[in-house]
């Protein structure tokens, strides 16, 4: 247990080589210690190495658990390893794990979208025993990633009809979908809800940037500028959203001035 805690600590502190060295030196390893290392690699975006660790873990005779599947499904999505992702999904279904952990279903939806298997992602979502804000957000975000704004907004409506309340991440994806299809009406509704909940004060600047970008893409550049001026925090992405918005709307002088 102490060795596993050391692996986990080093991995979470981005000292992945030290984490691996500790794991290699452990007199006994188990699935929990392997999980800590695999999750550390995924966290750093080094997903090929995470998958290599997954292979080694299995070669040592350890069977993956729910935590393993969550990390490895994410690694499969990032690396586009559809075959392995499908094999893992089949094993998850075989063991009946989706009925015990909805996060696994969400991870499967996300993996399929990242591997460009859009229809499969939707199929998995439809067969989830339970859907929550995270699974709905994965579905909406997946459609947005593929430029399918209308499908994303349709899912957003279905989500609300199901009584699921969106969170800040949902709103970010929905605002991107509004920009794709130039749907100002829903964008305005989201803006009003964001302000009612005070999310611009409590969440990442990413949400404010999404609002600026949505208004700009919908051709309402004065509102984009108004939102920008009221952002509590701005970063380079905020400025980029405004500058690109001006340029897209033919206001080149304003873009250069910004």
**Region 225-249 average pLDDT:** 92
Taking the C-alpha atoms of residue 134 and residue 106, their distance in angstroms, rounded to an integer, is 7
Identify the pLDDT of residue 217: 94
d(CA 31, CA 26): 13
pTM (predicted TM-score):
0.92
For the purposes of burial, counting CB atoms within 10 Å of the CB of 135, is it exposed (0-12), middle (13-18) or buried (19 or more)? buried
Residue 251 has pLDDT above 80, yes or no: yes
How much is the mean pLDDT over the chain?
A: 95
Quick check: 233 pLDDT over 90? no
Q: Specify the pLDDT at position 13.
A: 94
Cα–Cα distance for residue pair 193/198, rounded to 1 Å: 8
CB contact at 8 A, 39 and 9:
no
Task: Name which of 13, 21, 1 is nearest 43 in CA terms.
Answer: 13
Share of the chain above pLDDT 90, in %: 90
Average the pLDDT over 4-21 and give the result. Answer: 95
Tell me: the pLDDT tens digits for 51-106?
999 999 999 999 999 999 999 999 999 999 999 999 999 999 999 998 888 999 99
Q: Examine the pLDDT at 118 and tell me if it is beyond 90.
A: yes
The predicted-structure confidence for 186-231, as pLDDT tens digits, reads as follows 999 999 999 999 888 766 789 999 999 999 999 999 999 999 998 9
- According to DSSP, residue 183 is labeled -
Q: 143: which residues sit within 8 A by CB, 6+ positions away?
A: 113, 118, 149, 151, 152, 155, 177
Which CA distances in Å does 72 have to 8, 23, 41? Answer: 16, 18, 10
Residue 200 has what pLDDT?
85
Return phi, psi of residue 65, to 5°.
-115, -170
What is the distance between the alpha carbons of residues 106 and 110, in angstroms, rounded to a whole number?
6
């Amino acid at each position: 247990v102490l060795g596993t805690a050391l692996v986990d600590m080093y991995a979470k502190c981005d000292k992945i080589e030290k984490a691996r060295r500790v794991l290699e030196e452990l007199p006994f390893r188990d699935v929990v210690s392997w999980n800590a290392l695999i999750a550390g690699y995924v966290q750093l975006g080094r997903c090929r190495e995470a998958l290599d660790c997954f292979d080694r873990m299995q070669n040592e005779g350890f069977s993956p658990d729910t935590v393993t599947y969550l990390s490895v499904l994410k690694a499969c999505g990032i690396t586009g390893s559809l075959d392995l992702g499908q094999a893992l999904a089949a094993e998850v279904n075989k063991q009946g794990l989706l009925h015990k952990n909805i996060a696994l279903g969400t991870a499967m939806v996300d993996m399929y979208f990242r591997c460009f298997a859009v229809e499969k992602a939707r199929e998995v979502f439809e067969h989830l025993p339970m859907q929550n804000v995270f699974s709905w957000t994965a579905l909406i975000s997946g459609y947005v990633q593929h430029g399918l704004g209308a499908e994303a907004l349709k899912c957003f409506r279905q989500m609300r009809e199901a009584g699921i309340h969106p969170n800040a991440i949902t709103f970010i994806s929905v605002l991107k979908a509004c920009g794709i299809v130039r749907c100002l009406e829903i964008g305005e509704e989201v803006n009003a809800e964001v302000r009612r909940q005070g999310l611009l004060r409590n969440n990442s600047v990413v949400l404010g940037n999404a609002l600026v970008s949505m208004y700009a893409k919908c051709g309402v550049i004065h509102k984009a500028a108004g939102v920008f001026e009221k952002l509590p925090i701005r970063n380079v992405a905020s400025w980029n959203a405004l500058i690109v918005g001006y340029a897209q709307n033919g206001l080149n002088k304003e873009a250069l001035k910004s």
